Structure 1
Amino acid sequence: MGTITPFPGPGRRDGQVGFERTELMRILDLYGRMVAAGHWRDYAMNFDRDAASFSAFRRTAERPEYRIEKRPALRNRQGMWALLNETGMVLKRGHELGPVLAPVERRLVKLVGD
């Protein structure tokens, strides 16, 4: 017989970091609106032991225009959410997802308004 390996649940610290359902819905809602505006065309998600990231691309072959990162280790410091630009510079950091996504949402208003 084989050995049974327990599936890592929410209480286990040795697993990977991921997005909760509400967080992912908020991110994908913004992504969908940017796709509808014709600005983004592709995305990628990465889940590691220390961080989860969502990258949005203008075209598939380029670097991501924006990257949204969740790092729970920084929860008690400057905040676990970060918005990074194409070069990796932190544009916004915070404890909640909404204010971190605000610069991208303001840009969406400008794109739709034109």
Structure 2
Amino acid sequence: MNAPTPLVPSGDRVTFNRAELGVILSVYGRMVAAGEWRDYGMSFLRDVAIFSVFRRATEHPLYRIEKRPKMRAAQGAYSVVAMDGRILKRGHDLATVLRVLERKLIRPVE
């Protein structure tokens, strides 16, 4: 029996698999430890799975990490979207796409 590929939605919703959540939560944990992020939310829809990160739970998300399997052949299934709707990074490898967020931790020392 063939196992489904990780980018194919199971049932009628797109979801993150365990490995993808591990990569996302690793970045999330480092950002929480740095005091940048404090909360997150997940949405699983027909065409997209979204992991939203917040500075405070009552605000709009700072960033959205999106998985769109239909974009896999074109520009890549994964993207990081800023609060204003700009796509900061898009690609086929989730860990590579999330590096754009880790650059936020690097600050100049004065």
Is TM-score (shorter-chain normalized) higher than 0.5?
A: yes
Q: CA–CA distance in 1 between the matches of 2:16 and 2:45?
A: 11
Percent of pairs with identical residues = 52
Q: Take 2:78 and 2:9, find their aligned partners in 1: how far apart are those partners? A: 21
2:21 matched to which residue of 1? 24
The one-letter amino acid paired with 1:103 is V
Name the CA distance, whole Å, in 1 between partners of 2:50 and 2:74.
19
How far has the Cα of 1:109 moved from its partner?
A: 3.2
Question: Residue in 2 aligned with 1:110?
Answer: 107
User: Who is 2:98 aligned against?
Assistant: 101
Aligned residues: CA RMSD: 2.2
TM-score (norm. length: structure 1) = 0.83
> Equivalent residue for 1:77?
74
Matches of 2:95 and 2:75, distance apart in 1: 15
Distance across 1 between alignment mates of 2:68 and 2:45 = 10
Change (3 A) 1:28 1:12: closer
In the alignment, the residues of structure 2 paired with residue 48 and residue 70 of structure 1 have an alpha-carbon distance, to the nearest angstrom, of: 10
State the aligned residue count: 105
Partner SS, residue 24 of structure 1: helix
Question: What is the TM-score of this pair, normalised by structure 2?
Answer: 0.86
Correspondences of 1:39-50 after superposition (within 5 Å) = 39-50=36-47
Compute the displacement of 1:78 (Å).
0.7
Q: Secondary structure at the match of 1:63?
A: coil
CA distance in 2, matches of 1:22, 1:104: 18
Residue by residue over 1:62-95, the C-alpha shift from the partner in whole angstroms, topping out at 9 and shown as x without a partner, is: 1111100000001100111010000111111111
